[in-house]
Amino acid sequence: MNDSSFTLSEKKRLLASLYRDTVPLRESPIQHGYRNKVDIITSTQGIGLKQPGSWDVVVDTTHIPLANNVINAALPLIREWAKTVPLYDLQAKTGFLQLISIRGENDQLQVTLTTRSNEYAEYIQRLYELLRPTSLYWTTTEQTGGSIGEHIQHIYGQKHIRLRVADKYFFIDPYSFFQANTQAAALAINAMRPFVHGRVVDMYCGVGTIGLSLSDDVFGVDIVKQAIELAKKNAQGTSARFVCADAQRFLINFSPDTVIVDPPRTGLQQSVFALVRAAPKTIIYLSCNPQTQVRDLALLSSRYTRVHTEAFDFFPGTHHVEVLVVLRRKD
């Protein structure tokens, strides 16, 4: 998880070569203890983080410098409990407990257990009694990788936890995408504010984090039904609207002034052409993958001019960087 070889200077040089310009890079407000979510691999090799580039090697971990205090306070109890459970053997592909996803901040803690079967319910109850998290989920999987299973069940506590970004609180569940560094995310959201105007559409809206932080009258679109349900819950008390739909098709019948996009690492892909057809005056594009963002910007350049570029060090100590680009339509 941590790679101190990636300094701010090196990130700036990478950005300058990609964007062919000097890109301001804002530091994270905190350099350590910023992550609100980690995935703990539990195997006969150890209980901790995966070795970079491989799910087959686990590094036994007792403390995670990049994780916040809530996670590190829970980690010793979780490790001791896990040692009493049949752990998964990565080589033999046998065992029970495979992954523990921990997410939390302040007084909120959500734990999701991924196991190979729905046996040993007594072990799950024992963890809840020991840890008393805000929310506990249990899911089973037949996959061997380190990802949450598909058949998820809420077992104990509340269904959702509430985490804060940019002075707003958001309900999230184990499947929700949520920025792991909320303080750095707040910087990026505040940098977007001067460019938001008129009718606002938030593509890839997820649980509504960015759109609701910027406007009470946003129209959010996402293809994930569960995310939209939580976005509607988060929008209570506002005039914001959220719909589960393919954003490309949705934009055909909508004429927004401002479109906010925060796509996955694969970038906009075919949504680029939907954006060009919709022709909003302003596109606010936050990206976790500069390479795919630069590709998309080239496709948008015939219709749009880049008026603002700024990077944010969401993940100090790693090679990752987030880039905010604001585009203005050529009239």
**Residues forming the active site:** 288
SS3 label, residue 87:
strand
Burial readout 28-54 (b: 16 or more C-beta within 10 A, e: otherwise): beeeeebbbbbbbbbbebebbbbeeee
- Residue 105 gets the label, from left (phi > 0), alpha (psi -120 to 50) or beta, of beta
247, two tokens: 């954003």
* Residue 157: count of CB within 10 angstroms of its CB: 18
**CB neighbours of 291 closer than 8 A, spacing ≥ 6?**
18
Q: How far is Cα of residue 181 from the mean position of the Cα atoms in its chain?
A: 9
**CB neighbours of 185 closer than 8 A, spacing ≥ 6?**
165, 166, 179, 209, 314
HSE, side-chain direction, 13 A CA sphere, residue 61: 26
* Distance, CA of 260 to CA of 326 (rounded, Å): 9
* Cα–Cα distances in angstroms (integers) from residue 60 to residues 35, 93, 112, 185, in the given order: 19, 19, 19, 30
